[in-house]
Structures are given as structure tokens and as C-alpha cells.
Structure 1
Amino acid sequence: MEGRRISASPRPCNGRRIVARKRPRSEGVVNSVQKLMRREISSKRDRSFSMSNAQERFRNIQLQEEFDTYDPKENSLLLPYLRKRSKIIEIVAARDIVFALAQSGICAAFSRVTNERICFLNGSPDEVIRSLFYNKNNESLITVSVYGSENFSSLRCRTTRIEYIRRGKPDSGFPLFETESLKWPGFVEFDDVNGKVLTYSAQDSTYKVFDLKNYTLLYSISDKNVQEIKISPGIMLLIYTRTSSYVPLKILSIEDGTLLKSFNHLLHRNKKVDFIEQFNEKLLVKQDGENLQILDVRNFQLTEVSRTEFMTPSAFIFLYELQLFLTFRNRSVAVWNFRGELVTSFEDHLLWHPDCNTNNIYITSDQDLIISYCKADSDDSSSDGAGRVNAGSINISNILTGKCLAKIRAGCGAAKDNNKKKGSSSRSYSRFNNTVSEALEDITALFYDEDRDEIYTGNRQGLVHVWSN
């Protein structure tokens, strides 16, 4: 899964910086040098085959299953807030189990073998689960929760083996980071790329780095002047309190916290800093109304991109294998390199959500495809019978070319709407409450299971739909 930061704020917004998902390799977590070497010796001559294969993979995709996270009988003992039907905000799949988290804080696990709900993961009546993280290192699911007994102000983490959940025993896990005070504005961040967990305790202004494999503490950073920490492959960027003309920065080894470089980056006076991001040896700095600066921290060579060409995005996705990054702004997606050049503009990938809900975006492990919930073209749209066009489409596009390879849409193609709902004589659709057209309305979460070649989507009704061949 991507690097994900969960704040102790009762209702946090999505973090700006998202790390592209990476499937773990057999040799485990490797350092940046090995990654770069592997990238250089990989010629990727099979890209054209991969594109045609992707088109074939998604050509006949159809709506196969529907799951419901809402169960008034099962949840009758929970807090009133948790008993309400609410939209799906996060989907994670692991080992033939689909986990769906609703905005209310209810999290349900469904089996793709039996196509039935296994259990709910909420361990107590006042537990509100805020986020999920699948830890591939030990085949477990980490839940991050807040509790009514603590006024929903302090994060609590718990890990449970996938096998226990499969058996319907979600209470067989154990708590993590119990010694940490993760009250607002504290947070916990899971970094799959480096195999680390970063926690921040606002109570004593201490950052701590843990091993994601066994959750042992590796080192601590105690400094009240640190305003932010950004994680990149092999390193961490410490951003300190800015002065009027510069911001102090430090680069540390992610493995042991060793100081690798310390320097000041000059700023334009009285200009707000839009963002500071670190990607390997490249530092990206953007101030309000100013050019984007790309600084190579090895030799301090500076590249600037005109503010008219590069406007502040609402979110990033860094593509570590390709040495590129995606930007999201006003429903549009673009691909850039670290010379400040626009690499790709997508031909047909207008996102549905204007605020760039990154839970509706999936990057494949090879970082060649982006799967998103998009606005449908006028020719693609479907009507709900009352003349209203309100269904979007799931678009699969090639990241390097921007070409739309496949599209799941209502009323045509593989996902043709059969208008068969619950009670239909068709056995394959007998458990559906939603038609294809309805399933493509108001999608609020999306996940692609690369092992099963299935797309899972969740909507505002708390329903999860399975799309596959």
C-alpha cells in the first residue's frame, strides 16, 4: 500500500503526498541504490505487449458481486453514529479478503471465495476505525482507530493476522505503539517503500521510527523546531521552522537516523510556501506565485519551471521506478520528470472528484497504469430513468502515453447494464441491489487487486461492487 499518514484530528483531510503502491519483492525491502541499479538494467522492451495485455485484461470486465457494509442487526450495540449507513472511504484487498471502511467508522471484511461477509473489525461499541493498512511483511491488517471513551482524539493502532480475520476472529490481534501519545496533532504514517512506521507525539514533540516488520523502535527525533518530515526511498527530509529568507533542512538516513546533509534553502520573503517535497536527491519547492524550484541536493544545481507552466497541484503521486511524478489539479492528471518537463497529458482521464480524492485512484505496481473514477463523456453517460445523467466511468490509462486503454461504463461495452436487480431470475445478478448504472454512481473509493485482476468500488450507500472478467 501507499505511504499513508493518519492524523489524530477528528476529521482530517487527505494528505497531499501519496506514495505509489509497490508490490513487495522476494528479497524484501531494498535500498535506493539497488532500486536505481535495477531500473537502469531493466530495458522494459515489453511495454507494447504490456499495453495490449492491459487492454485485453479489462476488455470484458463486468459487474460480478455486491457487498453491503450496513447491517442494522449486527451493529445494534454500536454507537448511534456507527449504526448509520454511510459512504465507503477506503478499500483494501489481501489474500482473497476485501476490507471496506465506511465513513461512519465501521469496517467489514468480505470473502471472495464464499462471497459473504466474514465479520466486522470494530472491537468495541465505541471504536471508530479511521484507516486501514495491509502489512505485507507479516500478512496482517493494521487498523487505526479513535474511541468515544477518549473523545475520539487519540489514535490507537492494532494489528491482526489475515488468517485470524479469515476465521472470523478479528479480536485475535494485538495493539501497537501503546507507549506513544498520538493525540492531535499527533499522527502515524506507514511507509511501505522503506518498511518503516513514523509516529509523532505532539505532547513531547518527538518523532519515532519503527520497523514495519516487527514494530521494534529504531530511533527517535526530539526537536521542537521540526515542522514536518517527508519520507523518500532511503531518506527522510526534516523541514524546520522557516525564517523570513530561508528554511533550514536536514536529510537523514531512514535506516538509522544518521545525518546525511544539512543546508538552508533560500526563499522569497513574505511568500507562503505551497509545498516542499523530497524525492531521492531532488528537492521540490514551490512558493505562492513563484516558479517551481527543483534542487539537486548532491551538487545544488537548481532548475526552475515557470509558474505559468507548473501550478500548485492538490496532490502528488511519486513513481519511484520511473523517476517521474504525477500531479493532480482541477480534476486533471499530468506526468512530470525531474527536469521540470511535462511528460504526459491524459487524453481521456477527467477525474470525477474535484478535490482529488486519492482513494479513487490506483497506480499498478509496475507503475504503468492509472485506474481512476472519472467523469463520463456525453456518449458514455447513462440515465437513471428520470433524465438525469449521473454515472461516471472507471478509466484505465497508460501513464507514459496518456492513452485510455479501457473504460468501464454503463450502457455499453463489457459492463452493459442488464437492469437486473435483487429478485431477478438471473442467478449471477440475484444478490444485486444496484444495476451497473447505479453502481457507477457516486463512487467514493476504488481499489485494484492485481493478483485477482479485480476492481473493487464503494459508493455513498455503503455498498462495495466487484468488477472482473
Structure 2
Amino acid sequence: MDGKRVGVSPRPCSGRRVVASKKRRRWWGCGGEECVNSVKKLLRREICSKRDRAFSISDAQERFRNIRLQEEYDTHDPKGHCSTVLSFLRKRSKIIEIVAARDIVFALAQSGVCAAFSRETNERICFLNVSPDEVIRSLFYNKNNDSLITVSVYASDNYSSLKCRTTRIEYIRRGKPDAGFALFESESLKWPGFVEFDDVNGKVLTYSAQDSIYKVFDLKNYTMLYSISDKNVQEIKISPGIMLLIFNKASGHVPLKILSIEDGTVLKSFNHLLHRKKKVDFIEQFNEKLLVKQEDENLQILDVRNFELTEVSRTEFMTPSAFIFLYENQLFLTFRNRTVAVWNFRGELVTSFEDHLLWHPDCNTNNIYITSDQDLIISYCKADSDDLLSEGNAGSINVSNILNGKCLAKIQVSNSCPSEDELSGEAKKRARSSRIRSKVAEALEDITALFYDEERNEIYTGNMHGLVHVWSN
């Protein structure tokens, strides 16, 4: 999950832009022959000789086949990591976000407490709250400089403004979370201001509602690149290489501008016709395609290079609760009523997932992980009705192939409870020394956050009780 926006609201926003991409692809001004043909790309992907491509299905099944519950971490400190912290920071609360980097697992609780755990020692390293009144709202791992950015609000400021801080991972590993420094101090990020981290383009977008100014910063060194000052801009959407500026709706149309993400140069300005009396469900820009959906109307897919328009019946494409965009594959996922579907930009349904009914109806993207190759989706789902060992409200962690919808692996109660005879001598020794207090069924209950560490091949889940569980081979 490469991009996220954090706004100044009472609780972290549930709807967030999620971008899944490994690298950017130039598109503006390209001819038709240069644009990717989805079918050919998928075919190349299936027959590609690269590792993890030709045998992606069997490899994935093998990678997840023997994953078991291996460790448990607790973000709650009954004594309080600081005697002077706010009382609600000392209360047990659910995990809302997990990020892993350099063998460190970061777990953020809804209360605003964030703890760092070492996968090498399985010890809690430190809490990232460096001030007694700090409430951390969100995390972002900046791989450009191997640092963790925390976005916080403070009691001393009446929780009204976002404050960002960056801390090198190495400092956190040494237990020195206060060794970082503040970012964007010149910006007034009061409600409805926000900060958005875009890993795809290596940019940060801030919005100061006080003076209606958007600013773009370099994610590598945090220098400001340019600003956009226009009170008529209603929203900004970011895609690889470009930004879409959506202006206030006019009579029968909405003015739009497409800018270069690098320097803010206007690449195209145009108006898109709308039904005057119907609300806009969404306007999204993905490379050369503009997606527009109004209430009770067909989905419109507009190619902004030649203004060729494709419509998809409103009975076939109903407004989703969230998107995930796969730029490498020129596809996008939609989430609606706990189901996931894959579409191409011709408006065709490519894949419907089998056995992948999401647990949470609100599609919290912190419970979904897309691999960097964009071939797998890992989600917290409803357990099988025939999982006889399932207890209470235990769900399952499902691994599915995005291109064909097949369920490749599943972590559930019935396949995650090895008997004593199945454990090796080393595994038995680990089991005896482990601090796991939860049963597998309990660890699979009420999962509120999920993260997959691709380098370690480990899944981390957080639950309602502030516990983090490690699932690995």
C-alpha cells in the first residue's frame, strides 16, 4: 500500500487512497502503440521466465502452506510507559495500523499509542510517543531514507493540527525515538487540512485550509517543490506522474486540470459534462483514464488524450466503497458489500474472487495487503462454514491470486494448530519459550489490522485487544 492521506478529523479517515505500484510508467503524450495492452501484459506475466512469475501460483501456495502462529506482542503497558501520559493513552485499545521495516514491527493503537517490536529479540524496543500529550494518528515508512514518519495531534493544541516527525529506523532500533526531527513546520495543517504521502511518485502533498494552498514536497529530502493556490480547487487526486485538479462544480460540468507531478506544469485543461441535479459519487484519474460516476448513472471512462468515452451500465458497475489501483497491470480492484472484483479500464470485469468474503463491511484497507508484484491479495475474511475447529468469531487470513481470483492459501483454525508430534525439536523449544497467551482461534478473532512482510514472509495481525500476532513458517 503505497499512498495514504491523513486528515485532521476526530478519528483517522476510513477512506484512504491506496496505490499499489512498483515503478512509474510514462504515459502523457504517448501514442496508442505505447500504451499497455492489458491482455498481452497479463499473458507476458503468466509466461515470464522471471522468478515468482512463471511459478507464482505454486510458489505462493508453498510460501504460505505451513504458516503458523509464532509470536505475540502487546502494545498495552499497564504501568504506562510514562507516568505523565494522558489517561486514555494508558488504556488498552484496538490496533489500527501495522508497518514493518528492517526487522522492526510498528503497531499503532486507536488510542494513539505506537509501539516498536524487534523481530530479532521479540522484545518491545520502545514507544514512539515522545511527548506525554502526543496522540499518533498514522504511520508511513519512507524507504527513500529508511525512516518512519509519524503523523500526530497534541492535547496542548486541542488536537486541532497535524504534526509530522521523521525518525531514522536505526535510531528507533537503539530505543531513541526522540532522535528524529519535525517536518513541514511552516504548514498549518488544521482541519480540513491534510498531508498525503505518495510513495509512487516520491512526493508529499499538504493542504493548508487556512490559506487554501496545496504544496508538493520531495519525499527524499522534504524540500518544497511548488505550491498550488486556488480556492476553487475542490480535490486533488494523484496518479503516477500526474495530478488531477477537480474544481468546484459549475452549471452542468466540472472543470478539470491535469498537472505534472514533478513541477506542477499544466498538461491539459478541460470540462467534463455532468447531470446538473445528480451528486457525483467519484471522479478518479488513473494514467490516461478518467473515471466519473454520478448517482444512478452509468460509469464513464474517458480517455483524456482523445476524449474517447466508454460507458459501463450502472447495473453492472455499482459505486464501490473503496478502490485499489494496480498500475503495473492496468487494472483496479473494487470493494463493495465485503466482496472484491477486478476491472480493466475498458470497463470489463476481469476477475471475481472465489472464497474471499471480507470480514469487515467497511473495507478498512489496513486489513488488506497487495504484494509488490501485484499478483496476490491478502485479506482478513469470513471463515469457512465447514471449518469445524473454528470457535467464536474466528475469521481466516486468505491469500488469493489477483489475476484469476483463485484462493491459494488460507490461515484458519483448522490448519494452524499443529499437534505436538508435528513440531520439530526446535519448534517445540520455541513454543515452550514463547510468550503467546492467545489460542489460534483467539488470534483469528476481531483482527483490525494486517501487514505482510515480503522479505521475511511473515504476516502480522493486530486485534481489538491491542495484541499483535506473528504468523510465519
Equivalent residue, structure 1, for 2:465? 461
Q: 1:302 to 1:435 in 2, by over 3 A?
A: same
Shift of 1:75: 4.1
Equivalent residue, structure 2, for 1:5? 5
Q: Deviations over 1:133-174 (max 9, x none)?
A: 000000000000000001111000000000000011110000
Equivalent residue, structure 1, for 2:75? 69
The SS at the match of 1:17 is coil
Please give the alpha-carbon distance, in whole angstroms, between the structure 2 residues aligned to 1:172 and 1:38. 48
**Does the Cα contact within 8 Å between 2:5 and 2:16 map onto a contact in 1?**
no
Q: 1:49 to 1:260 in 2, by over 3 A?
A: same
User: 380, 393, 398: which is aligned to 1:395?
Assistant: 398
Please give the alpha-carbon distance, in whole angstroms, between the structure 2 residues aligned to 1:381 and 1:198. 49
What TM-score does the superposition give when structure 2 sets the normalisation length? Answer: 0.92
**Does the Cα contact within 8 Å between 2:98 and 2:462 map onto a contact in 1?**
yes
Shift of 1:72: 2.0
User: 250, 253, 256: which is aligned to 1:249?
Assistant: 256
Please give the alpha-carbon distance, in whole angstroms, between the structure 2 residues aligned to 1:349 and 1:365. 20
Q: Say whether 1:445 aligns with 2:452.
A: no
Specify the code of the residue in structure 1 equivalent to 2:415: G
**Does the Cα contact within 8 Å between 1:96 and 1:111 map onto a contact in 2?**
yes
Shift of 1:379: 1.1
**Does the Cα contact within 8 Å between 1:14 and 1:357 map onto a contact in 2?**
yes
The worse-fitting range, judged by mean Cα deviation, of 291-300 and 375-384 is: 375-384
Q: Say whether 1:435 aligns with 2:442.
A: no
Q: Say whether 1:190 aligns with 2:194.
A: no
Equivalent residue, structure 2, for 1:269? 276
Please give the alpha-carbon distance, in whole angstroms, between the structure 2 residues aligned to 1:338 and 1:271. 24
Shift of 1:129: 0.2
Please give the alpha-carbon distance, in whole angstroms, between the structure 1 residues aligned to 2:342 and 2:438. 35
**Does the Cα contact within 8 Å between 1:381 and 1:409 map onto a contact in 2?**
no
Q: Say whether 1:333 aligns with 2:336.
A: no
Please give the alpha-carbon distance, in whole angstroms, between the structure 2 residues aligned to 1:275 and 1:32. 23
**Does the Cα contact within 8 Å between 1:381 and 1:390 map onto a contact in 2?**
no
Equivalent residue, structure 2, for 1:422? none
Specify the code of the residue in structure 2 equivalent to 1:431: R
1:10-29 equivalences under 5 Å are: 10-20=10-20, 22=21
Shift of 1:383: 4.6
Query: Percent identical across equivalent pairs?
Result: 79
Q: Say whether 1:90 aligns with 2:89.
A: no
Shift of 1:428: 1.5
**Does the Cα contact within 8 Å between 1:417 and 1:437 map onto a contact in 2?**
no
Aligned residues: 453
**Does the Cα contact within 8 Å between 1:347 and 1:403 map onto a contact in 2?**
yes
Please give the alpha-carbon distance, in whole angstroms, between the structure 1 residues aligned to 2:234 and 2:3. 19
Shift of 1:267: 0.3
Equivalent residue, structure 1, for 2:412? 409
Specify the code of the residue in structure 2 equivalent to 1:53: D
Q: Deviations over 1:94-141 (max 9, x none)?
A: 000000000000000000010100000001111000000000000000
Q: Which segments of 5 or more consecutive residues in structure 1 lack a partner in the other structure?
A: 419-424
Please give the alpha-carbon distance, in whole angstroms, between the structure 2 residues aligned to 1:37 and 1:383. 45
The SS at the match of 2:18 is strand
Specify the code of the residue in structure 1 equivalent to 2:133: D
Shift of 1:391: 0.2
Please give the alpha-carbon distance, in whole angstroms, between the structure 1 residues aligned to 2:232 and 2:4. 23
The SS at the match of 1:432 is coil
Please give the alpha-carbon distance, in whole angstroms, between the structure 2 residues aligned to 1:99 and 1:331. 27
The SS at the match of 2:300 is strand
The SS at the match of 2:55 is helix
Please give the alpha-carbon distance, in whole angstroms, between the structure 2 residues aligned to 1:443 and 1:391. 9
Shift of 1:427: 4.4
What TM-score does the superposition give when structure 1 sets the normalisation length? Answer: 0.93
User: 318, 321, 331: which is aligned to 2:328?
Assistant: 321
Q: 1:52 to 1:167 in 2, by over 3 A?
A: same
The SS at the match of 2:178 is helix
User: 53, 64, 72: which is aligned to 2:59?
Assistant: 53
User: 145, 149, 152: which is aligned to 1:142?
Assistant: 149
Q: 1:133 to 1:38 in 2, by over 3 A?
A: farther
**Does the Cα contact within 8 Å between 1:382 and 1:390 map onto a contact in 2?**
no
Please give the alpha-carbon distance, in whole angstroms, between the structure 2 residues aligned to 1:37 and 1:311. 26
Q: 1:305 to 1:415 in 2, by over 3 A?
A: farther
Shift of 1:176: 0.1
Q: Say whether 1:375 aligns with 2:377.
A: no
Please give the alpha-carbon distance, in whole angstroms, between the structure 1 residues aligned to 2:112 and 2:278. 39
**Does the Cα contact within 8 Å between 2:69 and 2:416 map onto a contact in 1?**
no
Equivalent residue, structure 2, for 1:356? 363
Please give the alpha-carbon distance, in whole angstroms, between the structure 1 residues aligned to 2:303 and 2:417. 47
Q: 1:381 to 1:355 in 2, by over 3 A?
A: farther
- The CA RMSD measured in Å over matched residues stands at 2.0
**Does the Cα contact within 8 Å between 2:6 and 2:13 map onto a contact in 1?**
no
Shift of 1:366: 0.2
Please give the alpha-carbon distance, in whole angstroms, between the structure 2 residues aligned to 1:48 and 1:408. 24
Please give the alpha-carbon distance, in whole angstroms, between the structure 2 residues aligned to 1:416 and 1:349. 24
**Does the Cα contact within 8 Å between 1:208 and 1:221 map onto a contact in 2?**
yes
The SS at the match of 1:456 is strand
Q: Which segments of 5 or more consecutive residues in structure 2 lack a partner in the other structure?
A: 421-427
Please give the alpha-carbon distance, in whole angstroms, between the structure 2 residues aligned to 1:79 and 1:99. 21
The SS at the match of 2:296 is coil
Equivalent residue, structure 1, for 2:423? none
Q: 1:345 to 1:216 in 2, by over 3 A?
A: same
Q: 1:37 to 1:295 in 2, by over 3 A?
A: closer
Specify the code of the residue in structure 1 equivalent to 2:3: G
Shift of 1:77: 2.3
Equivalent residue, structure 2, for 1:159? 166
Equivalent residue, structure 2, for 1:421? none
Q: Tell me which stretches of 4 or more aligned residues in structure 1 moved more than 6 Å.
A: 33-42
Q: Deviations over 1:267-306 (max 9, x none)?
A: 0120000000000000000000000000000000000000
Specify the code of the residue in structure 2 equivalent to 1:353: H
Equivalent residue, structure 2, for 1:223? 230
Shift of 1:31: 4.6
The SS at the match of 1:207 is strand
**Does the Cα contact within 8 Å between 1:381 and 1:392 map onto a contact in 2?**
no
